Amino acid sequence: KDIEYIRSSYYNKLEYTRFSSSVGKFVGFTEYGVKNAEYWNNNPSILSNMKAQKEGYCLNNIPVYYNNVL
């Protein structure tokens, strides 16, 4: 519940798009990023793939990181 998957895209130290699992869609921060986010949000296969990354990457690695911290 408390884990969030975030994937940000940067160009020249400027963030232009971000996917957040808590929002569930891409958000654009520049004109180019807004166009990309709109395209990616309208493509169900890309959107479902990014939503699955939370389970496939984050939730799978929680026990590994948690045990190392303790």
Q: Is the pLDDT assigned to residue 3 strictly greater than 90?
A: no
CATH number at residue 27: 3.10.320.10
Where is 64: in which H helix or E strand?
helix 59-69
Measured CA to CA, the distance from residue 55 to residue 70 in angstroms comes to 22
Is 13 contained in some domain?
Answer: yes
- Looking at per-residue pLDDT, the higher value among 66 and 44 belongs to 44
Q: What is the number of structural domains in the chain? A: 1
pLDDT digits (tens, 9 = 90+) for 8-52: 999 999 999 999 998 999 999 999 999 999 999 999 999 999 988
pLDDT at residue number 41: 96
Does pTM top 0.85 for this prediction?
Answer: no
Q: What is the mean pLDDT of residues 63-67?
A: 70
Domain that residue 41 falls in:
6-69
CA torsion 33-54-4-24 (nearest 10°) is: 50
Is 1 contained in some domain?
Answer: no
Is 46 contained in some domain?
Answer: yes
